[in-house]
Each structure stands twice: as C-alpha cells, then as structure tokens.
C-alpha cells in the first residue's frame, strides 16, 4: 500500500466514514491514478477536470457515479494534499428524479408466499415489516429484538444513528418460529459461517428469486420492500413525520418522495373532465 493510499484510508477512518464510502473513495482515486498512470499528487486541477469530462463523454457514467467520483477526488485533494482549489468550481451533476418501484399489498403477500424456506420468509418479512435498509437487516442481532417493548433496535443505521422501529406481532410470531428452527447465535440472520452475518448479495438473490417465483413482473430488491413499507404506511394515514422517524431519514424532503408514489389520493381525486357536463355525441359516431 502506497503512503498516499494509507493516509487516505486513515483520514477516512478518523472521520468515521462508512465502510461503503471508504471503499468507493479508494476505488475512485485508484481509477483516477490508473487513468493517467501517475501518482495523483503529481496531477493538476486541469487533469482532474479532463478526467471528469472523460467520465461523462467517453464512459457515459451515471450522474450518481460522477458525483461520487467528484466527492472522492475533492476529499483527496482538499484533505490529504491540502490543495486550495479542491474542485469547488466543478459542480455536481443533477440526478434524474425517478419514482421507486412499489409493490401493492397483494404483491407483498405473493412475495412472502413464494419464499420456500422459513429463514427466507423471515428475512423478507423483516425487511417489509420494519422498513429496514439492507445493511441494517444483515446487522441485526438477536438481542435487537425487544419483544417486551415490541420494538426492534436498529444500531448504527445510515448516518451512524441508532433508532427504534415497531415490532409487528405477526413478524414476532415468524421470528420465534425461525429461532426455534435455526437457533441463531449472535446474528439474527447468520451466513454460512454462523459467526458472520448474512452477505448483502445473498439477500438480493433471495428477493430476486422470490419475485421470479411469484411472477410479479417487477424487479424486486430489498429496498423495494422498504419503499413499499413507507408507501403503505402513508396510504394508511400515518403521519409523514412518524414515517420519517421510522425510516431514519435526516430530512423530511427525502420522506416526502412517498407522497408522489402513493396512489390512494391520486385515484380518489376526481378528474376535471368528470366535472363537466356530458358532451354532445359527435355526428355520425356510434353510441358506445
């Protein structure tokens, strides 16, 4: 490991950046250096700008990837090298606002029914019943299930924050049956090695396989169940600030996305066309 890479790693650790962010930043800086085949401390602001232009015009990377690389290089040059320019004049790309895929309650039931194993069903139901992120699910421990208070403790979720979410009585029954059958130790959902949590990739595969067997016709990921959790709560009349707290969102604007996804009020709204008097039939047109 080069001294620069070691220092970058150590500075990110001192700032307590998430492991995913650390890996992404290390990968971005390494790819940048490989592109020029030079150490990044020997490259200039114009080199950085040219590389970002290359990502857009030749590599056609997504806006989210562009912004992540920009943030990584900005962190590297400002924090590690102390360069005064630090990419302040290069703005982030605007990311398209896309509505998330949401399952209907009937589709959620189909998904659960398609889970062949008790452990698989417990995983899918926990994702949906508590609205957890994938990383939060695999980090759950048996001790995080508080059946007395009917709550689940989410330790160090996104943003290094702890929170509690509700423990559904239905989910509790499934988890008790799962515990009796599998007897997990420390981790609620251990992997092949019982001393290690389940790999996130395995949970992705579980969701895809169950959706395929259920013939949903949608690409279902763990986050789809989180989106469905929030949307169904909103449609049931839950206050949006309560949903914000349950999801662990820092900003209410993030939670407000689900107001655009919920169809309950959309389909219940009368179109202005239906408020008009019935139009006269067009001459020569057959009656329906």
Catalytic positions are 133, 158, 223, 226, 249, 258
CB 101 within 8 A of CB 218: yes
What is the rounded CA–CA span in Å between residue 286 and residue 288?
6
CB 79 within 8 A of CB 11: yes
What is the rounded CA–CA span in Å between residue 192 and residue 208?
20
Those residues whose C-beta lies under 8 Å from the C-beta of residue 129, and which sit 6 or more positions away, are 168, 170, 171, 229
DSSP per-residue string spanning 165-178: EE--HHHHHHHHHH
What is the rounded CA–CA span in Å between residue 47 and residue 145?
51
Q: What is the dihedral of CA 20, 21, 25, 31, to 10 degrees?
A: 30
CB 118 within 8 A of CB 177: yes
Residue with tokens 């690409």: 219
The two tokens of residue 1 are 């490991």
Q: Across-strand partners of 154?
A: 163
User: CB neighbours (10 Å) of residue 144?
Assistant: 16
What is the rounded CA–CA span in Å between residue 259 and residue 92?
26
């Amino acid at each position: 490991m080069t001294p620069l890479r070691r220092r970058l790693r150590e500075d990110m650790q001192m700032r307590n950046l998430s492991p995913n962010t650390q890996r992404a930043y290390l990968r971005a800086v390494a790819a940048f250096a490989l592109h020029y085949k030079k150490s990044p401390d020997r490259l200039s602001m114009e080199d950085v700008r040219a590389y970002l232009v290359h990502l857009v015009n030749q590599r056609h990377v997504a806006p989210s990837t562009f912004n992540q690389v920009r943030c990584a290089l900005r962190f590297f040059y400002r924090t590690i090298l102390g360069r005064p320019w630090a990419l302040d004049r290069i703005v982030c790309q605007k990311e398209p606002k896309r509505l998330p895929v949401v399952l209907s309650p009937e589709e959620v039931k189909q998904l659960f029914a398609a889970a062949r194993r008790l452990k698989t069903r417990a995983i899918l139901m926990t994702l949906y019943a508590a609205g957890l992120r994938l990383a939060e699910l695999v980090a759950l421990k048996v001790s995080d299930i508080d059946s007395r208070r009917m709550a689940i403790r989410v330790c160090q979720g996104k943003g290094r924050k702890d929170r509690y979410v509700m423990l559904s009585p239905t989910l509790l029954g499934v988890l008790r049956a799962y515990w009796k059958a599998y007897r997990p130790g420390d981790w609620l959902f251990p992997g092949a090695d019982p001393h290690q949590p389940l790999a996130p990739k395995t949970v992705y595969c579980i969701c895809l396989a169950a959706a395929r067997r259920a013939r949903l016709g949608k690409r279902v990921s763990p986050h789809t169940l989180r989106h469905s959790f929030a949307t169904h709560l909103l449609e049931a009349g839950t206050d949006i600030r309560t949903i914000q707290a349950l999801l662990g969102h820092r900003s209410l604007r993030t939670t407000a996305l689900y107001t655009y996804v919920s169809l309950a009020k959309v389909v219940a709204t009368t179109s202005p066309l239906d408020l008009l008097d019935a139009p006269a039939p067009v001459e020569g047109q057959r009656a329906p």
